[in-house]
Structure 1
Amino acid sequence: MSTHDAAPVHGHCDARFAAVRAAFEENFRERRELGAAVAVTVDGVRVVDLWGGWADEAGRRPWGRDTLVNVWSTSKGPVALCAHLLSDRGLLDLDAPVAEYWPEFAAAGKEKVLVRHLLSHRAGLAGLREPHSLEQLYDWEVTTRRLAATAPWWEPGTRSGYHALTYGFLVGEVVRRVSGLLPGAFLRQEVTGPLGIDFSIGLPATEAGRAAELVHPRAAPPEDRAASSARLPTARLASLANPLVGAAEANTEAWRAVEIPAANGHGTARAVAALYGILGGLGSGDGRRVLSPEAAERVREGQGSCRDLVLGAGFPHDTELGLGVWLSGPNGSYGPNPRAFGHDGFGGSCGLADPEAGVSLGYVMNRMGPRVADEPRKRALVDALYSAL
């Protein structure tokens, strides 16, 4: 189907933010957008709520107001929110050893790994050293038991290295040990349920009819399939290809039926904007705040700029993580304010918050680009937003 056959854009956009609508429409014309939605909240008011295109590759299902889509690593912000809520309530010390809450985790020299190291991808556990199948990934107990037993790839706390899939199990198991709930249930009970935010980790079968079909741009490079061998020589392979997952896996009932908190959050753009707004202390989109100002400020506490040990080859610059989010920094990934923050999802999606500007944004889509972060469609929307402020 030609991108010129895209369904029209629907929704609301304040006149002041006409540049955002123009960039959104241009994504369909010029950047091969298939189906997508974008939402922006400023000072507690939703000023942009747009959607358009197609929810399936064949172009038979228009993307609707309530279409859901797997947002890959944009899910990591809501997982971090669970930990920050527990910390804000005095139930979790981010500076305590992980083993204080998860005793088995102390194995293989990890007794000094702190909770903050998990949140900032500095635990050295970017992936498992032994091959880990998709079926094993779907088993929470098997995956967390293996993570507790494994040795770090580098000295924890010294450098960041992207924990593509393990992040959600590591932070999520601490959430479970403290609250008694898996992160999906905790998020639903404490945030998305009470506030009516249309986001879940995994996807209930009853909601499958609203889910967009993900479309992968191309096959994974052959070198990334080296994880299927008996040896995993690098942290990069362990993080990004053990197991290797993409659109084909994410479109299945099996993927949606389990919790993979770092990668299988499903939601609307409005939901993503609301959740990142909460992380930024901006409220949920209806004025209700969830984190204290002190807790929200801690979310973006920089953990040290470095060349990421997993993603470094793909980034021509150093990056810095806060406690669960990436800082915009000098690269301006989330706008010109270096202390704005957010998280991208594999292929293009994004959530961001800029507390100084009072802004949060959510962007979700189903045609995945080849980049892990800073996809051109997302950059166009972020640039347009800031041009209007």
Structure 2
Amino acid sequence: MGASEFETVVQSFEENFRTRGEIGASVSIWWKGEEILSLGKGWCEKGEKRAWTKDTLVPVYSATKPLAAATLLLALEKRGLGVETMVREVWPAFPVEEASFGDLLSHQCGLSALDQAASIWEHDEVVAAIEAQVPAWRPGQGHGYHARTFGTLVDEPVRRLTGKVLGQLWWEEIAQPMGLEFWIGLPESEWARVAELYPGKASAGDFASGFYHEFNREGSLTRRTFGSPRGLRSVQEMNDPKAWAAGFPASGGVGTATALAKFYQAAIGAIESPLSESVRKALATRRVEGDDQVLIQPTAFSAGCQLDPVDADGTKERELYGPDAEAFGHPGAGGSHAFGDPELGLSFAYTMNQMELNVMPGRRSTTLVDALFGKL
């Protein structure tokens, strides 16, 4: 890493505001235990009432998932369990008998869509719907992104293991000891720091993709996945403090880019943290890849994180996480993005409030990643 790469990141960040519709955004880059770049610019709302700074909080949707996964992995470890433990040892009514926690965390259990109606606001309803669900596939038969059910799939075992909701355990065991300004269940004392989110706008090209074709097709697995459990579908609802406070582990995290990037420093072992070697290994180790039955494109997952898929020759099919095949992280709907590169000791996070219409990192974040790795 050299000064030229970081200068190009700064230039790309500025260009996002000039030509790509950015309203407010932050970027944080850490290298070998130190934050070496921290940017925050713009506004928390279109009315330009509050300036966006590097300390601004914002919901990051599914970029929450690896943090939630780390919390479950830590809870398992404290009980002498791990990724190869069968889920039914902790959750006896879990509907996939042969599933390990590694299978659950890598989207292999076929429980992305629920047939039984359940509200996202009612944890017990969602648990009952999961327990009644016939899996769409089973471990070893493929995988598909569990966009919304993932939250309950990790929260319920944590509750059974610890008697605490996942967001509380995350704060007590990981976030607070590390000084991370990231909450899965935001306290009222922090509400005034949260930026307002704005939905992305669709173009004709967006609906030509396989994902959006399936997303808009009535009854498709993709559409059912993103509607299960029901509720909290609009961006406006995510601007409600009720959503920030609820602590949804699949998509409800609220925090800073600095906190996300520092979490990945812990995940790659670049700093001391509550994450043990076994937890870090689970987050980093590729468990499944191939055609994603929900996202309708190739994906790869570890126990809680996403990686770039590779072809038969080991060449990356895309570089959302940079050129290293072992880099891992997770995007959030609309554009937020974070990852760690264990080979370089590098971590990156980008947060913003003007969303794009995507479930994978969009142009504003991928340009920053390309700049970081000298691709521009």
TM-score normalized by the length of structure 1: 0.86
Shift of 1:84: 2.5
Q: 1:369 to 1:226 in 2, by over 3 A?
A: same
- The one of 174, 194, 203 aligned to 1:211: 194
Give the residue type in structure 2 aligned to 1:289.
S
Determine helix, strand or coil for the equivalent of 2:160: helix
Task: Tell me how far apart the structure 1 counterparts of residues 216 and 363 of structure 2 sit (CA, whole Å).
Answer: 26
Match of 1:323 among 287, 299, 303: 303
Aligned to 1:100: 89
Deviation at 1:222, TM superposition (A): 10
Q: Which amino acid aligns with 2:277?
A: P
Match of 2:273 in 1: 289
Contact 1:38 1:49 in 2 (8 A): yes
1:70, CA displacement in angstroms?
A: 0.4
Shift of 1:90: 5.0
Moved over 4 A (4+): 13-16, 219-227
Q: Which moved more, 1:140-149 or 1:71-80?
A: 140-149
Alpha-carbon displacement from aligned partner over 1:40-79 (angstroms, at most 9, x marks no partner): 0001111011000111122222112321000000000100
Percent of aligned pairs with the same residue? 35
Aligned to 2:322: 335
| 1:207 aligned counterpart, secondary structure | helix
Q: Contact 1:299–1:323 at 8 Å: present in 2 too?
A: yes
SS of corresponding position for 1:37: strand
Rounded to whole Å, the distance in 1 between the matches of 2:13 and 2:147 is 28
For residues 224 and 41 of structure 1, the distance between their equivalents in structure 2, rounded to whole angstroms, comes to: 36
Given that 1:78 and 1:276 are in contact with CA atoms closer than 8 Å, whether structure 2 keeps it comes out as no
Verify: 1:117 aligned to 2:92, yes or no.
no
1:87, distance to aligned residue in structure 2 (A): 4.2
Cα distance, 1:99 vs. partner? 1.3
Which secondary structure does the structure 1 equivalent of 2:373 belong to?
Answer: helix
- Taking only aligned residues, the RMSD between alpha carbons, in angstroms, comes to 2.2
CA distance in 2, matches of 1:44, 1:237: 41
Which one-letter code corresponds to 1:363 in the other structure? Answer: Y
What are the superposed Cα offsets for residues 313-355 of structure 1, whole Å, 9 maximum, x if unpaired? xx3xx22111111113411110000110110000000110001
State how 1:298-377 maps to structure 2 within 5 Å. Answer: 298-312=282-296, 315=297, 318-329=298-309, 330=316, 331-377=318-364
Q: Give the counterpart of 2:68 among 57, 76, 79.
A: 79
Please name the residue that 2:54 is paired with: 65
Q: Does 1:246 align with 2:234?
A: yes
Amino acid at match of 2:366: R
Structure-2 residue corresponding to 1:21: 10
Structure 1 runs not aligned, ≥5 long: 1-12, 228-232
Q: Distance in 2 between matches of 1:157 and 1:202?
A: 34
**Which one of the candidate residues 120, 141, 164 is aligned to 1:137?**
120
- 1:93 Cα deviation from its structure 2 partner: 2.5
Alignment match, 1:280: 268
Cα separation, 2, equivalents of 1:104 and 1:130: 16
Distance across 2 between alignment mates of 1:223 and 1:195: 41
Matches of 2:42 and 2:128 in 1, distance apart? 42
CA distance in 1 between partners of 2:110 and 2:4 (Å): 47
Contact kept? 1:123, 1:157, Cα under 8 Å: no
SS state of the match for residue 94, structure 2? Answer: helix
Mapped pair 1:126 → 2:112: yes
Aligned to 2:41, which of 52, 66, 70?
52
Q: Report if aligned partners of 2:30, 2:348 keep a CA contact under 8 Å in 1.
A: yes
8 Å contact kept, 2:116–2:133:
no
- Write the letter of the residue equivalent to 1:307: D
Is 1:154 matched with 2:137?
yes
Q: Deviations over 1:94-128 (max 9, x none)?
A: 1122111011224xxx2222211110011101121
- Tell me the distance in 1 between the aligned counterparts of 2:140 and 2:103: 6
CA drift at 1:147: 1.2
2: distance between equivalents of 1:159 and 1:223? 18
Q: Greater CA deviation, 157-166 or 265-274? A: 157-166
- Amino acid aligned to 2:295: L
Within 2, Cα distance between the matches of 1:137 and 1:89? 28
Please tell me the residue identity of whatever aligns with 1:278.
A
Distance of 2:353 and 2:241 partners within structure 1: 17
Secondary structure of residue in 1 paired with 2:36: strand
Query: Aligned partner of 2:275: which letter?
Result: L
| 1:199–1:272 CA contact under 8 A, matched in 2 | yes
* 1:262 counterpart (239, 250, 268): 250
Q: Structure 2: state its 5+ residue gaps.
A: 310-315
Distance 2:104 2:40 in 1: 35
The normalised TM-score by structure 2 is: 0.89
Contact 1:34 1:57 in 2 (8 A): yes
Equivalent pair of 1:119/1:324 in contact (CA under 8 Å) = yes
Give aligned pairs, total.
Answer: 357
Letter in 1 for 2:303: L
